[in-house]
Amino acid sequence: MNARSDAMSIMIGDQRFEVRGKMSTYAKTFRIGFALLVLILAPSIAFAATPTVTAVLSDSQPAVGQIVQLEIKVNGANSANVPETISIDGLEIHQTGTSRQFEMHNFDVSSSVTYNYTILPLKAGHFKIPPQSVRIGNESLRTPELVLDVAQGSGSSGGSAGSAQTGQNPVASKLAFAELVVAKKDAYVGEMIPAEIRLGFDPRAHSRLQEGPELSGQGFTTQKLQQPRENLETIGGRSYQVYTFKTAIAPARLGKFEIGPVTAKAVVVLPRRPSTSPRTHPRSPFDLFNLDDPFSDPFFSDPFGSIGERTELPIRSEPAVLNVKPLPSNAPPNFSGAIGNFTMAVDAKPKTVQVGDPITVTSTISGRGNFDRMNGPGLEDEGGWHKYPPSSKFTQDDDVGISGEKTFEMVIAPNEKKTAVPPLVFSYFDPVKENYVTLRSDAVPIHVEGGAAPAPAVAAAPTTSATPIGTVGVTPAPTAKPQDILYQMSDLGRVRSFTPVYQRPVFWMAQLAPLILLLGFVGWKIRQAKIDNRDAQRAAALQQESTELLRKLRRSELSPQEYFSNASRVVRVKTALAKKINPNAVDAETAAKAFDLGESERAQLRTLFERSDELRFSGSGNGTRSVSHDEREEVLRLLESLRA
């Protein structure tokens, strides 16, 4: 009857390792091994903290027959002696399991052990669970006294403290349950309230969540549901696979209204059994309180001996009731809707600037509350500052964004000489203290160069007429009368194009002109070079011919015809070289003129050409007669004297 389950969980960083189930020899061995492992890995486990004991009820106002969970939690110890049973008339209380938890944060290890009891109210009334003695080593501690108000009737959760559990058909309620846990019953409009949606399934039903969970209702907003945390819990003497979805609710309207219900749909596997046949099989050991258990079936003892059927199971919780109050009317002027509990840190950079230069003021609001509706802190005194709208960044510490820090970056520029960034002011409503709180930072000292110093006398003496503070070369203060813009233009002016000049086709067309000019210049130069080259080749050939002929004239015994022909040819070639003309067009007069010869030389030249012609055309030179030495020398002297 009194089946017990034991559980142990270890949390390292954000990871939680949990082992639950009935304690077998294997489990005990495993537990011992695991404990040893922890001891080896974490020699700095600090159990030195003073043990404390707490006891909580899952519901303090149940109805008759509705099972309530009692948890006795011992912090700072890994074992304790607790009573097996608690005897109270009208309540049936059994211990159902133990769970141990080790948490390691940066090698700082803490442990706790939780003893779970189930309470079955047998009758209505006001019950007190007296303090229970818990023995930890040599120390004895006592739990606080707990009160249980059991109402008449069944299935109704009544006004439980923000918790609404299922009220569905009996079988479904045993297979699965949905529960909406809202942290508060009374809240202020806009306040962020943590909430949990718990869906529990009998692990033997191999449940699979098909839809949801969905939280219905009007007049509030919810944060997006996070991935659920999954653990095995014993509720009412039965084990449930519980999926816990965390969220936060922010009421948007005043008054009392319902939140929820939570609805979900799951597929479960149920044993198929004839509905008419009487129940003859033995009761399940899970059926702690002799309740009807659909798993008290041979199918679950021997899954292969029978057939299960898949069934779609709708799950629905009871709605939770929330009473939403308005915020008090005496809100500070800079209150912008932040509700919670916050702290503020402020810094400004750079510390040394010129008048008009931007300074980034970073303010960090940390704590718990409705960060999504929060505006940044404002300057206590904005006079002499040019202020720009801030940007913000939120870093959440939890799953639902209630806890974290929001950093606002505001750029301000001094319009005049200043000695400090004025204090930043941030107001919020504290729902615990139920009043407004205004945070005020210290002024951040800075050094502003340039511009005129502020006139402190004006600020200090409000009765003095407010004369404008002189500023030199700076943007006028926002409070100053704005300048007026200049006049209208009466002339429409010339149409222009936004297209840059290099993207217009006309620009590239215009480049054709210098391109053609350049190509023309290059072509002309190349042609000229070619011409020069041809002339040079011709001159070189003529020069070579002249040299060759002169050599022949000097050494060879030539016939008179050949001699004078070659000599006249040398004259023609030399004249052609000097005057850049065709050698064949050269006669004696041309040559004489080209070399500017005297009369005697001119006569010699004429004689040379006449003799050459005479010998060539008369044929008299074909005899054996040769040119005399003197005659040859005279011709050679004449030829060598031909220089331009």
Catalog residues that contact another protein under the rule CB under 8 A: 386-394, 411, 475-476, 478, 482-502, 507, 511, 514, 518, 521-522, 525-526, 529
CB of 429 to another protein, least distance (A): 24
CB atoms within 10 A of CB 377: 27
CB atoms within 10 A of CB 284: 18
CB nearer another protein, residue 22 or residue 393: 393
Q: DSSP 3-state assignment of 588?
A: helix
CB nearer another protein, residue 170 or residue 358: 358
DSSP state of 151: B
Cβ–Cβ under 8 Å, residues 43 and 131: no
CB nearer another protein, residue 474 or residue 638: 474
CB nearer another protein, residue 231 or residue 392: 392
CB nearer another protein, residue 85 or residue 396: 396
CB nearer another protein, residue 525 or residue 554: 525
CB of 409 to another protein, least distance (A): 8
Residue 105 token pair:
């944060």
CB of 491 to another protein, least distance (A): 6
CB nearer another protein, residue 462 or residue 482: 482
Q: Which residues of 321-340 are buried (b: 16+ CB within 10 A; e: fewer)?
A: bbebbebeeeeeeebebbbb
CB of 524 to another protein, least distance (A): 9
CB of 495 to another protein, least distance (A): 6
CB of 407 to another protein, least distance (A): 12
CB nearer another protein, residue 55 or residue 469: 469
**What is the C-alpha separation between 414 and 421, in angstroms, rounded?**
9
3-state secondary structure string across 524-564: HHHHHHHHHHHHHHHHHHHHHHHHHHHHHHHHCCCCHHHHH
CB atoms within 10 A of CB 620: 12
CB of 632 to another protein, least distance (A): 43
Q: How far is CA 420 from CA 15, 348, 386, 412, in A?
A: 47, 10, 14, 12
Half-sphere exposure of 335 (CA within 13 A, CB side): 18
Closest alpha carbon to 78 in 48, 40, 58: 48
Sign of CA dihedral 243, 238, 114, 124: positive
CB of 366 to another protein, least distance (A): 18
Residue 452 token pair:
């005129």
CB of 10 to another protein, least distance (A): 35
CB nearer another protein, residue 456 or residue 493: 493
